[in-house]
Amino acid sequence: MSIDSLKSRIPDFAKDVRLNLSTLASDETLTPQQKYGLIVACGIATRNPEVKAALEAEAAPHLSPAVLAAAKSAASIMAMNNVYYRFSHLVSNAEYRTMPAKLRMNVIGNPGVDKVDFELWSLAVSAINGCGMCMDSHEAVLRKANVSAEVIQASVRFAAIIQSVAVSLEAAEAA
């Protein structure tokens, strides 16, 4: 399965989603590693097995095994962090924000790939998962590394498109 196979399954009511999905592979804002890592990490974050499998199959030929593993690590670690930090940010009791998280997250400090790439993937997954605290944190790290707003926005655009693919396919199945 691939991006083309996903596009063929997107119903007409989501034509814009299909068109947006078509733009991912040709995007020139991001490096190939950034782009295909985003495709993998965001595919996993949708929690849709069909989207995850198709996007990983599309990206795998463009990524080394180490980079593919790092993209999966970004999705995995953000699944944990986004729940925890979204809770500590949204709950009324401020005491939780002063407590140590006590979560292992060594991969963030040593992701095995360029730190900027890992941060872009983490930002995009955090956008899918709706964690404002994590989005702020990753965006700040990227800006400190002199990553342009255009590149940062592109990573979140990838997240938005990939999430909309999963929702469109699920809506079509429910009909």
**What are the tens digits of pLDDT across the range 18-58?**
999 999 888 999 999 999 999 999 999 999 999 999 999 99
- Helix or strand holding residue 166 (H, E): helix 149-174
Contact 72, 122 (CB under 8 A): no
Active site residue 134: yes
Tokens of 111: 């992701």
Cα dihedral 21, 25, 28, 34, rounded to 10, equals: 100
Q: How confident is the model at residue 106 (pLDDT cuts 50, 70, 90)?
A: confident
Average pLDDT value for residue range 11-16: 95
If you average pLDDT over residues 147-174, what whole number do you get? 96
Q: How far apart are CA 134 and CA 148, in angstroms?
A: 18
According to the CATH classification, is domain 3-174 in 3.30.1050.10? no
Residue 96's pLDDT band, with cuts at 50, 70 and 90, is confident
CA–CA distance, 159 with 144 (Å, rounded to integer): 22
Candidate list 51, 131, 154, 169, residue with the active-site label: 131
Percent of the chain having pLDDT more than 90? 78
Q: Which of 82, 30, 75 is nearest to 55 (CA)?
A: 75
C-alpha dist (Å) from residue 84 to 37, 66, 70, 115, 119: 24, 27, 21, 22, 18
To the query of whether residue 42 is one of the catalytic residues in this protein, the response is no
Mean pLDDT estimate for the chain: 93
Amino acid at 40: V
48-70 pLDDT tens trace: 999 999 999 999 999 999 999 99
Q: Are 126 and 138 in contact (CB under 8 A)?
A: yes
> What pTM did the predictor assign?
0.93
By the 10 Å C-beta count (0-12 exposed, 13-18 middle, 19+ buried), 131 is classed as: buried
Per-residue pLDDT at 17: 96
Which residue in 10, 40, 125, 134 is the catalytic one?
A: 134
State residue 175's pLDDT score. Answer: 66
